Structure formats: structure tokens, C-alpha cells
């Protein structure tokens, strides 16, 4: 489901590959023709590809017709022996090139630019739909990421032929140079929480998602797995009152709060910190609320102070965006930050 990206001039690339593999990630993307890459390109590329192969990482490489020259190999087909499973083809490859390369690799077409007429030309030449993947670009410059409507139109073109589609999300913290603005496919995902962006892509039918930036965050990988398998929403919290735990949510969803089941108590809870409640606040009903005493809520919409409700903490600021998913979740896994 989730994959990483590694880059030849990243001094931590080997470490990231190994850490991701240990966390269960088995897919990686790399580029073998970005102009900014300098230095001992050929040796570095071959070494990192072997590291990925050793750790059973399925690598898709972005290539151009100049890649063999850059890597000091005879032809693109030689990449297979270096550990490349699939290639993502830059513009400029003719139909006959793609047919030939399909004998050696899984083929990823540029889903952000390819036309249906080109797809049909491949089918006419003998390429089967199950040999192809639609793979969107990432966009380093702000304001150039894809429009959502266009993205959906391109995806529908691939989906009608049952061709899976891949897209990128930006890293949560570390951004790749030279612009350091994130590497998403959709412009609207450039600055949002990585997990939220990934979930939205899954909802669009995207089969595999890659973190475009070099950052690897095991927490995000685990959180996405929890969401996709169990609809558990992982949220970091800042509180000294509530224990870290996975809490089941009530099936009848409230407009203003998320209600955690099994939190009511007969123990006396005195009124304290009964202040206004902004989105992301964690609250506990005090003794003045009678039988609701102890019930814990996470606030979805700003609410006024209520002397029956204690404020006991808040969701980590970086995770408040994830409350957009709360109404779809079955459980909340609250984690102490």
C-alpha cells in the first residue's frame, strides 16, 4: 500500500531503505534521470539498488532514454539485473520501445500526461492492460500540483481498463531539495497531514501510494495500515489524565464531539478547568453531568465553556486535521506524545 522514495544524493538513503524494510514496507521509487543528481551517480545508483534488492524491496525507477549513459550501462534492459522491478517511462518513448521493455519490466506510464489514444496504441501493439500501471508525477514547485478534477479524469481513463494507479504524497516533515516544498501529486495535498492525504487517495481508488520526499516515518505507515484494515484512527494527544489506549467509538455519531465508549465512571470527578473547548480539545464530564460522569469526548467543533465539562487535554496540533476522518472511524488509538 505505502512505498518510500530514495534518491541517489541522499546520504541517508541506505538507512531509510533498511528501516522501511524492517517496518514491512516492500515498495520503493527512485529516479535515475533527475538533472539535479550529481557526483558518482552510476556507482551510487548501483549500490542503492542492490541494497533495496537485498532487503526484498520492489523498486520502480523513473527513467529516460539518457539513463543508460548516466549509469554507464549498455541499455535500459540491464537495470533488471541491478534489482529494478519496474520502470516509469519518461516522455519520449515510442510504442515499439515500450513493447520491447515490457519483456523485462513491469511498466508504469505517466498517468498525469498520457492520453487514451496512446493507451489504445499500446493495446493495438500487443501490450496487455495487466502489464501496465498508471503512475502520476510529483510536483516540487508550489502551485503546479495536479487539479483534483483533472486527477480524477485521468484516473477514470485507467480504471476503465482495470489498470491500477499510483500517486505521491508529500513528506510530513523532511522535504527534498532543491525547493523543499514537498513532493505531492495533488496540489491540495502539499501541506496537509500525510496520513489524511494518503487516506483521501485510497478513497479515490489509488492502489499504491508513495511518499515522494525522502522521509520515512514508521508511525505514518502503521497508522495507514490501522486505518485501511480496521478503521482505527491514530491520534497523538497531550494530556496527563487519559491513558494511552485504543477506544471504541459510539456508532451513533454526534455533530460536535467524538464520544469514547466505556469511559463513564462512578468515581467522583470534581469540576476543574471548565473552560471553552476548541476543535481538538479532549474533555471529561464531571459530577455535575450525573450519569455521564467520566465520559470522554474529542471536540470536533468549537464549543463554549460548560461547568459540567472538564478540559483534560488536546490532540497534537499536527494531528487535528485528522479529525476530518473521525466520523468514519470505528476506534481512536490515542497515543501519548
Alpha carbon 98 to its chain's center: 29
* Of 35 and 248, the one with more pLDDT: 248
Q: Which tens digits make up the pLDDT trace of 305-326?
A: 999 999 999 999 999 999 999 9
pLDDT of residue 126: 94
Query: If pLDDT is split at 50, 70 and 90, which confidence band does 215 have?
Result: confident
pLDDT at 37 over 80: no
Q: What is the CA radius of gyration of the chain?
A: 24
The residue written with cell numbers 531509510 in the block is 16
pLDDT of residue 66: 85
Whole-angstrom distance, CA of residue 308 vs CA of residue 35:
62
pLDDT at 38 over 80: no
Mean pLDDT of 85-102: 91
What nine digits make up the cell of 21? 524494510
Q: Which of the listed ranges 89-93, 171-175, 254-258 does the model predict with the highest average pLDDT?
A: 254-258
Residues near 69 by Cβ (< 8 Å), separated by ≥ 6?
Answer: none
pLDDT at 40 over 80: no
Mean pLDDT of 233-239: 97
Cis? peptide before 178, omega within 30° of 0:
yes
Whole-angstrom distance, CA of residue 144 vs CA of residue 187:
7
- Compute the mean pLDDT over every residue in the chain, rounded to the nearest whole number: 94
Residue of 281, 259, 283, 256 lying closest to 269 (CA atoms): 283
pLDDT at 52 over 70: yes
Q: Which tens digits make up the pLDDT trace of 128-162?
A: 999 999 999 999 999 999 999 999 999 999 999 99
* Of 311 and 71, the one with more pLDDT: 311
Amino acid at each position: 500500500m505505502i512505498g518510500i522514495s530514495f534518491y541517489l544524493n541522499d546520504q541517508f538513503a541506505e538507512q531509510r531503505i533498511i528501516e522501511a524494510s524492517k517496518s514491512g514496507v516492500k515498495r520503493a521509487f527512485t529516479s535515475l534521470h533527475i538533472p539535479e543528481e550529481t557526483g558518482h551517480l552510476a556507482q551510487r545508483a548501483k549500490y542503492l539498488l542492490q541494497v533495496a534488492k537485498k532487503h526484498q524491496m520492489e523498486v520502480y525507477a523513473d527513467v529516460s532514454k539518457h539513463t543508460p549513459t548516466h549509469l554507464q550501462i549498455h541499455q535500459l534492459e540491464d537495470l533488471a539485473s541491478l534489482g529494478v522491478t519496474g520502470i516509469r517511462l519518461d516522455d519520449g518513448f515510442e510504442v515499439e520501445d515500450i513493447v520491447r521493455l515490457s519483456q523485462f519490466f513491469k511498466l508504469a506510464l505517466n498517468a498525469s500526461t498520457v492520453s487514451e489514444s496512446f493507451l489504445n496504441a499500446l493495446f493495438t501493439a500487443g501490450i496487455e492492460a495487466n502489464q501496465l500501471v498508471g503512475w502520476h508525477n510529483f510536483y516540487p514547485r508550489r502551485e503546479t500540483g495536479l487539479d483534483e478534477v483533472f486527477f480524477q479524469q485521468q484516473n477514470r481513463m485507467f480504471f476503465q481498463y482495470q489498470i491500477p494507479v499510483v500517486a505521491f504524497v508529500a513528506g510530513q516533515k523532511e522535504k527534498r531539495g532543491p525547493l523543499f516544498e514537498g513532493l505531492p501529486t495533488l496540489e491540495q495535498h502539499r501541506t496537509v497531514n500525510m496520513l489524511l492525504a494518503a487516506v483521501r487517495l485510497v478513497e479515490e481508488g489509488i492502489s499504491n501510494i508513495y511518499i515522494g520526499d525522502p522521509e520515512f516515518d514508521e508511525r505514518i505507515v502503521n497508522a495507514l495500515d490501522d486505518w485501511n484494515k480496521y478503521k482505527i484512527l491514530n491520534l497523538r494527544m497531550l494530556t496527563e489524565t487519559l491513558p494511552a489506549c485504543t477506544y471504541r467509538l459510539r456508532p451513533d455519531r454526534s455533530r460536535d464531539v467524538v464520544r469514547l465508549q466505556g469511559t463513564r465512571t462512578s468515581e467522583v470527578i470534581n469540576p476543574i478547568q471548565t473552560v471553552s473547548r476548541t476543535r481538538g480539545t479532549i474533555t471529561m464530564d464531571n459530577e455535575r453531568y450525573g450519569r455521564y460522569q467520566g465520559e470522554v469526548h474529542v471536540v470536533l467543533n468549537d464549543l463554549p465553556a460548560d461547568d459540567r465539562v472538564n478540559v483534560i487535554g488536546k490532540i497534537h496540533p499536527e494531528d487535528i486535521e485528522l479529525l476530518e476522518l473521525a466520523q468514519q472511524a470505528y476506534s481512536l488509538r490515542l497515543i501519548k506524545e
